[in-house]
Chain A
């Protein structure tokens, strides 16, 4: 089994007035594209920055390429690129100057890739950052991260301000890069459709805890919506295992449940003396059900 690119064990983070993350344990393998989902303030940024060693965990530990995140060696750091939610661009610099500045830090800087992407994404390199739109700034930030040819690319809300064409181009690029375990990508986003298109694994952060960490396909198979048609009035407590939400209206009920299997369908139907219809959910619906 290949060494995990990122791993965290019982990671927790508290600030003086707030407990942000509780007991997070995750692993990311080479070639994974992990989408991190969560409501505003759920702890996504804190989680990503803890994993990268920007912050010190209150308890637990995080490792990247087998090294403790807070003490990463220079060699390990060279293999990582990060795009923060709020860009760190210098207002008076042009895009070209930013590229030159960032390239100075990396021996493996990929000039050809940067040239190609800046052309395809139409990044205005000759204008100063202060004159760029939010979307153009975001494209430049992504370009700076990709140019370093990272083995681990961590992106915190990287596409929020991009237009649909630019978002599609970006996703194609990271999927291509992850193919053949060339690169591992960890990205948070509110745009669930993008995440669904690109990610093979999903972490759902809810109130500082991981509500799900695993394969996207497994998540989709696991979380379902049950439409229950009872032969008589349904009880107030349906006792559906791992139910997330339920709405009961006489002989009919709708229940969202997780960890679902076909055996459970038969068991619940027998227990309630009802017909069960199992509906698969899109990621966005799963996210909503998990947060109701």
Chain B
């Protein structure tokens, strides 16, 4: 039990930002309860954003950490490591789910309309969180399609969705919950059996893995490096990804989205916001972490590349925009366009939402590269800033009537803050200290 508790603690604290985000979201829980209490009717958006912030960061970061911890061969020899790792991860999912379940139960009895916002966001985040890193991209996509299908076909009594092909029987909320829970238990049971038996877990390389399976990924010995490719590979800690890889990735994304859209076509969902929010915010927000990770790796280029600190910032910026930012934006564009086409969202609304996604991504990139002091408090404030700004902008886009003034002001502010942080980054990188700003590593002592 102590070993599992230590692992759980590692999950909660491995990334500095998680501690602060966790504290902020726990602190926001009473406000969430107050906001939905029948007699108070407060402003629910703020606590939902805080909870979403904690839930998304914890489950997604937890999934990433699960994978990272599973890769080293030496960890396999720690006593019962894999069983304990599985248990610890499930404890994390339960821990971070509990405030949502409380919130969901309260909204169900007090303000039935809010459950339409809370529940789908929770379900989708859960699907992404527990599957994206531990299991893989394909399973995540399949899960999202399944959730989409369930929401638009079976879950109509709960979410007031008008299905494309109405069913002639009523399914209770309880039955839907049991079905969803059962599906995840089945997936996790199958995954656990595989995880406990397989000899080696590969590092998370979604594009490389998919391309490897279809024969496009490089084989050992076939990689030729010039200086530019070597820089890119060192920063990404992966095979250099060219335009061909990005194109294949986007093509796979389009096919998957088309498939999902085909399944849901014809259904009417009154609250598209909750479907849009994750696909517009999560990819952008992940960019903060990815940009920061790339920036931390510049240490290994300081001597090898011969570049100055300022030039290393430029190299990081270039690498982020050319690879991860392009894919992050492509993910937002393809998925949100798919959703918009499926649910007949007007083009101007979609365009504004995508502009917000692009502004959020820009903000995320420059926050990621500007924060080189390794200050947890500042990181937490940044996370709140990115989530809150994107949340407010999307709320303005999807409000009825739309609050264009708020949307314009928020989106322009995001871009202005991003540019300000770029200037901050240029100043900060003159004095970047790689003894402080170094790659995050998990001590093996915390895994025993």
Indicate if the CB atoms of B435 and A104 lie closer than 8 Å.
Answer: no
* Interface residues as binary, B212-252 with A (CB distance below 8 Å gives 1, 0 otherwise): 00000000110111110110011001110000000000000
Q: Is B128 located at the chain interface by the 8 A CB criterion?
A: no
Indicate if the CB atoms of B436 and A15 lie closer than 8 Å.
Answer: yes
Q: Is B413 located at the chain interface by the 8 A CB criterion?
A: no
Comparing B79-87, B173-181, B186-194, B200-208, the segment that makes contact with chain A is B200-208
Separation of A102 and B234 alpha carbons in the complex (Å):
9
Given contacts A15-B436, A56-B431, contact A92 B299 (CB under 8 A): no
Indicate if the CB atoms of A54 and B225 lie closer than 8 Å.
Answer: no
- Collect the chain A residues with CB atoms within 8 Å of residue B226's CB: 104
- Collect the chain A residues with CB atoms within 8 Å of residue B205's CB: 92
Interface size on B, residues (CB 8 A): 40
Q: How would you classify the secondary structure of chain B's contact residues: helix, strand, loop or mixed?
A: loop
Q: Is B307 located at the chain interface by the 8 A CB criterion?
A: yes
- A78 to nearest B CB, angstroms? 6
Indicate if the CB atoms of A130 and B71 lie closer than 8 Å.
Answer: yes
Indicate if the CB atoms of A126 and B220 lie closer than 8 Å.
Answer: yes
Q: Is B303 located at the chain interface by the 8 A CB criterion?
A: yes
Separation of A238 and B24 alpha carbons in the complex (Å):
62
Comparing A80-88, A113-121, A270-278, the segment that makes contact with chain B is A80-88
Indicate if the CB atoms of A92 and B202 lie closer than 8 Å.
Answer: yes
In residues 64-95 of chain B, which contact A (Cβ within 8 Å)? Answer: 71-74
Nearest neighbor of A144 in chain B, beta-carbon distance: B304
Q: Is A71 located at the chain interface by the 8 A CB criterion?
A: yes
Q: Which of B221, B227, B299, B435 contacts A105 (CB 8 A)?
A: B227
Indicate if the CB atoms of B302 and A53 lie closer than 8 Å.
Answer: yes
- Collect the chain A residues with CB atoms within 8 Å of residue B74's CB: 134
- A197 to nearest B CB, angstroms? 27
Nearest neighbor of B432 in chain A, beta-carbon distance: A56
In residues 36-86 of chain A, which contact B (Cβ within 8 Å)? Answer: 45-46, 49-50, 52-56, 70-75, 77-78, 80-82, 86
Indicate if the CB atoms of B220 and A91 lie closer than 8 Å.
Answer: no
Indicate if the CB atoms of A55 and B233 lie closer than 8 Å.
Answer: no
- Collect the chain A residues with CB atoms within 8 Å of residue B221's CB: 94, 96-97, 126
- Collect the chain A residues with CB atoms within 8 Å of residue B15's CB: none
- A257 to nearest B CB, angstroms? 35
Separation of A113 and B227 alpha carbons in the complex (Å):
21
Interface size on A, residues (CB 8 A): 43
Nearest neighbor of B225 in chain A, beta-carbon distance: A104
- Collect the chain A residues with CB atoms within 8 Å of residue B239's CB: 92-93
Q: How would you classify the secondary structure of chain A's contact residues: helix, strand, loop or mixed?
A: mixed
Indicate if the CB atoms of A90 and B238 lie closer than 8 Å.
Answer: yes
Indicate if the CB atoms of A100 and B302 lie closer than 8 Å.
Answer: no
Separation of A134 and B303 alpha carbons in the complex (Å):
24
Separation of A180 and B189 alpha carbons in the complex (Å):
64
Q: Is B300 located at the chain interface by the 8 A CB criterion?
A: yes
Q: Is A211 located at the chain interface by the 8 A CB criterion?
A: no
Separation of A87 and B417 alpha carbons in the complex (Å):
36
Given contacts A56-B433, A101-B234, contact A86 B71 (CB under 8 A): no
- Collect the chain A residues with CB atoms within 8 Å of residue B229's CB: 104
* Interface residues as binary, B403-427 with A (CB distance below 8 Å gives 1, 0 otherwise): 0000000000000000000000000
Indicate if the CB atoms of B227 and A104 lie closer than 8 Å.
Answer: yes
- B389 to nearest A CB, angstroms? 29
Indicate if the CB atoms of A52 and B303 lie closer than 8 Å.
Answer: yes
Indicate if the CB atoms of A128 and B220 lie closer than 8 Å.
Answer: yes
12 contacts between A and B (CB under 8 A): A52-B303, A54-B299, A55-B435, A77-B306, A88-B300, A90-B233, A90-B238, A101-B230, A102-B304, A104-B226, A104-B229, A126-B220
A-B contacts besides A46-B435, A90-B234, A131-B73, 11 pairs, CB < 8 Å: A52-B302, A54-B302, A55-B433, A72-B303, A90-B238, A91-B237, A92-B202, A101-B230, A102-B230, A104-B229, A130-B73
